Amino acid sequence: MSDNASFPNTRMRRSRAASWSRKMVSETTLSPTDLIWPLFITEGEAVEEPIAALPGVSRWSVDNIVARAGDAIALGIPCIALFPNTQADRRSDDGAEALNPENLMCRAIRAIKAAHGDAIGILTDVALDPYTAHGQDGLIDESGYVLNDETVAVLVDQAVNQADAGADIIAPSDMMDGRIGAIRKALEMNGHSNVQIMSYAAKYASAFYGPFRDAVGSRGLLKGDKKGYQMDPANSDEALREVAMDIAEGADSVMVKPGLPYLDIIRRVKDRFEIPVFAYQVSGEYAMIEAAAAAGAGDRDALVLETLTAFKRAGCSGILTYHAAHAARLLRAKA
């Protein structure tokens, strides 16, 4: 900007006066192709289980997940993210169900691919918390400490299991050290060289995850907390180190989680690294928007689009959001 800019030669409001002009000078654009839609899977057939902590979000049986994938394709959403609600009798301390080729995740992947082929991408969560009886993301010792290297060995097998079923993007959310390199090596060795890794590289020990834990059935199971492996919300330099390590180990893209409270982290990562950066607008963020709208504290549609635009402005290539379908409909109506 010129140092000589002054009023009235410069009137900043000129370009804001008309809708066509505001569109012409817009610096950030948001479209359905920027969205990834997280979906929760449950057992049964023709099942929809509304999630009380996430108004408007449900768990779906595999057949209904296939239908939701069709909805995403019709709305122009390029990718869905899958999360299973594993039944209690299939949870164990070692999370063995994660390695079952017939688990909920793998059945859903195969069903979506059979119905839709490559018309939509499938991103799968790699972590043990949906499968453990104790709710932690990894294996634990007698004291409850989450074991790093032993957990990584299981995560590698979990990732290959999902890739064998047809997953397009493996997204490790566990925050164990070294797991990206180990998974990348295993994918290459097992013929999955084109399967991407989107690393949850900067995942914080956040207070915004509560509704998600309800959705996957782990809230009441969790013993202790996850501060021993998820990041301290006070740290930002540490996030850059985490991202750098995951890129070096073979991540194709990285994620910052949660989203809106960590826009500064997104911007720092985007400025430092030449790699696609994604954000997860997590369950607590979604629930706050829904609560604000229900209370009359803000217009729901405007709140949804403004927050998603903020992610793009901060440098995101895309956003995982439970509002994906609703946002895509709003964007298509505006186009």
> Catalytic residues, which ones?
203, 257
Cα 176 versus chain centre, distance: 17
Are 123 and 198 a contacting pair, CB within 8 Å? yes
Q: Rounded to the nearest 10 degrees, how much is the dihedral formed by the CA atoms of 106, 110, 111, 114?
A: 180
Q: How far apart are CA 95 and CA 154, in angstroms?
A: 9
Specify whether the CB–CB gap between 242 and 173 falls below 8 A: no
In angstroms, rounded to a whole number, what is the distance separating the alpha carbons of residues 262 and 335? 29
Q: Which residues contact 319 (CB under 8 A, 6 or more apart)?
A: 34, 35, 36, 259, 278, 279, 280, 281, 308, 311, 312
Residue whose pair of structure tokens reads 């082929």 in the numeric block: 117
Picking from 36, 212, 31, the residue whose alpha carbon sits closest to that of residue 129 is: 212
Q: Are strands 35-41 and 48-50 parallel, antiparallel or unpaired?
A: unpaired
CA dihedral 49, 120, 286, 275 (to 10 degrees): 150
Is the alpha carbon torsion for 62, 258, 232, 179 positive or negative?
Answer: positive
298 Cβ neighbours under 8 A, 6+ residues apart: 289, 292
Distance CA 61, CA 46 (A): 6
